[in-house]
Amino acid sequence: MSKLIPLAMLMLFALTAEAQLQKILHQSFELDEIDHIALDLYGEYDIETWAGNTILTETSVQLYGANPSLLKFLVKKGRYEIESKGDGGTMSLTSKDKNRTLMKYKGEDCFEFVKLKILIPEDFNIVSNKKLQRIQETDEATTTTTESTTTDNNR
C-alpha cells in the first residue's frame, strides 16, 4: 500500500501540471540599399552581428497554462510578427502587436515569455538599442607616382 501513495501522487501531478508550449519563429529582411534602421519592437531584445547580408530575427515564445491551439492562433494572428517599412535609405522594423493583452485559458491566467534576437550584418553599427547604421567605407586615397625617365642621347 505504501508503494501506491508515491505512484498516485505522481499521477495526480502529471494530470494537473500544465505543459509548456514553445515555438520559435524566424523572419528575414533584405537590406539592398538601406543605410539606417529604426527599431520599434515590443519588449526587450538582443542585437548581434553575423556574416550575412540580411537581418534575421528569431522570436522564441514560451506559453504556460494554455493549450497548443491557443499558441497556434496567436502565431496566425500575427502577435509575434515584425513588419518592415522602407523609405529611401531608411528601414523601420516594428512589432505588429505592441498591445499584448493578458490571456486566460479555462479561467486561469496564461503566462507568456517572449525572447527576441536580432542578427544584423557585420557592416552595420549599433548606434543605440533603437538605431542601426551601416558603416561607411572610407575610400582609400590612391596615390599615383609619376616616374620620370631620362634618356641619354650619347652617340
List, for residues 28-80, the tens digit of each pLDDT value.
Answer: 999 989 999 999 999 999 999 999 999 999 999 999 999 999 999 999 999 99
> How many Cα neighbours within 13 Å face the side chain of 75?
18
pLDDT at 3: 60
Q: Which residue has the higher pLDDT, 144 or 50?
A: 50
Kindly list the domain boundaries of the chain, sorted by start residue: 19-98+106-134
Instruction: Report whether pLDDT(147) > 70.
Output: no
pLDDT in tens, 121-142: 999 999 999 999 999 876 544 4
Q: What are phi and psi of 121, to 5 degrees?
A: -60, 155
Q: What is the pTM of this model?
A: 0.73
Are 25 and 59 contacting, i.e. CB atoms less than 8 angstroms apart? yes
Taking residues 71-90, report their average pLDDT: 94
pLDDT at 117: 98
pLDDT at 137: 74
Range from 13-17, 26-30, 87-91 that averages highest in pLDDT: 26-30
- Distance set, CA 64 to CA 67, 71, 80, 111 (Å): 8, 10, 16, 5
Q: Which residue has the higher pLDDT, 24 or 148?
A: 24
pLDDT in tens, 111-122: 999 999 999 999
